Every structure is written in structure tokens, then in C-alpha cells.
Amino acid sequence: MITRLFLSFFVFSFLLCSCSAKQNGELEKMKILIDTDANNELDDQHALAYAFLNMDVFDVVGVTVNNTRNGYGLQGQYDEAERIIHLFDLENEVPLLMGADKNYAEIAPTISDKNFDGKPAVDFIIQEAMKVKDEKLVLVPVGKLTNIALAILKEPRIVDKVRVIWLGGNYPNHGEYNLDNDTTAVNPVIESGVEFEMVTVRYGKPSGTAAVAVTREEIESNMKGKGPVSHHTITGRHGGEFNRFGGYSANLFNEAEMYGNPPTRSLFDMVVLAVLKNEAWGEKVEIPAPKLVGNSWIDKPENKHKIVYWQNFNRDAIVNDLFELMQKSTPKQ
């Protein structure tokens, strides 16, 4: 009888602790590391902001940067990521590290050098991956895959400790900006056997993240003047001073070229964070891992290693979630 009572008490206590932890969000947070070319476009900034607005969902262990051709150099990428971190007053909570400037094929032969290109980011990725035990660290590259490929090359043991979900590729079609910025990094990541997912872009098609687009008018109505008020006042990349992400978002959209009718701009990178938050906002398709030849995909139906690609995103749900989060985080007057 005593044994039975003790067992019942133990089970009850375990369930109570589990429920309390879940209610507090301690067990529900997803550990993520965002790897970004933050100054290339305006979608990276919104991806970072979306992650920071969802700190009850994500445990952002850090941000690393890489350089792609439109970002005004590696320092420009770093500076823009730093601006967003400052707008959310997270500089003491979210480490920011410099990553690769050149491509994987150029850097890989130097991986044993003391100060190889990308070392701070690569070492940080490895460090954070090796910390995890019962869960995987989710790597969220929204630029080229160089930092991820280098981390796997330097420390192959991280393959079993991470999940990579990449904004990149037009699969099954060729090309795409992130892919084209370092085609040499793609196969090393996929062929490592790591858990790998592609969130497709597919320019001009309704099935990719390109279709998750917004107008300037939507941004003006739903972003400007909204969001948490920072202790910092940043100078934006186009000039002007901002202490809220909402104002900076509107500025980025005002300075950007719009496309289509009505004129819009896509939030590509932010979609990765959105489907991590709610998988129902996209469609997952599992396939045998293909091989990249040049910048085109060659299917390998016999490949036992599977990857996932994402398509058909719920544009309204994703965009409205951003707008609602901005509204909720706006201080009451």
C-alpha cells in the first residue's frame, strides 16, 4: 500500500511539474540560431524582428552573419543585424557574430587556420550545437549556406545535433539569390546527412515565399509607430533615426523598389520563422535528397537520405501574425 501511494504521489508530482513547466513556456521554447545576410534586402530585418517578437516561442541563442553580394560587405551585414537587435534591446541577450565573407570552396582548405574567414560564427555555431542534449538546435540560415557548411566541416558531430531549415532555392527549378551566392556550400550540407529543409522562394509563383508579400500601404497602417520602444535610437541604413522597429520597417519599405500589381515586396526570410512557429502555415514535402549541379537540381530518387522542402504558404495568416504581434507589443498610451 505504501509503495502504491508513493508511486501515485510520484506520478502526480511529475505531471504537475510537467504541466507547470509547459505553462511557463520553459519546455516549449525552440532553440534557434539565425544566420543572416541582414543588409541584403528588407526581409532579413523582418525575420529577426519576428523572432524577437516571439520570444515566448523561440530561444534565440544567437545571430551570425554572412556576406552576399548586395549587402555592402560583411560589416554592412553585421551593422544591420546589430540595428535590429538594438531596436529590441537584446544586445545583452543575443550574441552577434561575424561569419563568412567568401564562399565555401575558397574557405574550406583553410579551415584549420587560426583565423580562417568566418571563424567567429563557425565556432559559435559549433559551440551552441554541442551544448544541446535532448533536443536539436535549429539553425535558420536565411542567406547563403557557407557558415553552416563550414561548421559541419570543422565539427562533423554537430550533424546529429542540429536541424537546418534554409530560406533558399527555387526547387525543383534552378537558381535563387541565396543559393547562387554560394553554390559550393549546398551539397556539403545536404550530403552530410543533417536534417535539412528548404523553404522555397520561387520568384513570381504563388507556391513560394515570394508570394508572401505586402504593400507599402499595409506596412504604413500596421507597422509604423508600433512595436516596443527601445532604449536605443538607431540611425537607419538609409538615414533617419528610429527607436521602434515599426518605424524602421516603414522606412525600409519606402526606400525599396516594389514589384507587381499592386506593387508589393516579399518577406521571404520571415516565412521560415513563421512555419517554425506554426507548421500549418506551409506545406512540407519529403523527397530523396537531390544534388545541386551548377545552380540546378538533379533528382536522386534512389537516395536513402531524405530532405524536406516547403511550399504553398498561408500568406494572410503569416502577415497578420506579424501585424498582431506588433500591435500587442506597442505600449499602451
Question: Is residue 276, in this structure, part of any structural domain at all?
Answer: yes
Rounded to the nearest 10 degrees, the angle between the axes of helix 43-53 and helix 268-277 is: 20
Contact 107, 116 (CB under 8 A): yes
The pTM of the full predicted model, rounded to 2 decimals, is 0.92
User: What CATH number has the domain bearing residue 209?
Assistant: 3.90.245.10
Structural domains counted in the chain: 1
Tell me: the pLDDT tens digits for 139-150? 999 999 999 999
Q: Is the pLDDT of residue 16 over 60?
A: no
Tell me: the pLDDT tens digits for 71-96? 899 999 999 999 999 999 999 999 99
Question: Is residue 284, in this structure, part of any structural domain at all?
Answer: yes
Rounded to the nearest 10 degrees, the angle between the axes of helix 245-255 and helix 73-87 is: 140
Rounded to the nearest 10 degrees, the angle between the axes of helix 73-87 and helix 43-53 is: 30
- pLDDT-based confidence at residue 28 (cuts at 50, 70, 90): confident
Among 135, 160, 132, 158, residue whose Cα is nearest residue 147: 158
Question: Is residue 17, in this structure, part of any structural domain at all?
Answer: no
Rounded to the nearest 10 degrees, the angle between the axes of helix 315-328 and helix 268-277 is: 80
* Dist CA 112 CA 218 (whole Å): 49
Q: What is the 3-state secondary structure (H, E, C) of 7-54?
A: HHHHHHHHHHHHHHHHHCCCCCCEEEEEEECCCCCCHHHHHHHHHHHC
Question: Is residue 21, in this structure, part of any structural domain at all?
Answer: no
Question: Is residue 13, in this structure, part of any structural domain at all?
Answer: no
Q: What residues are paired with 165 via a beta bridge?
A: 197
Can you tell me the mean pLDDT for 306-329?
A: 99
Question: Is residue 118, in this structure, part of any structural domain at all?
Answer: yes
* Dist CA 145 CA 167 (whole Å): 10
Question: Is residue 238, in this structure, part of any structural domain at all?
Answer: yes
Q: Please tell me the predicted confidence (pLDDT) of residue 27.
A: 52
| Structural domain harbouring 316 | 29-328
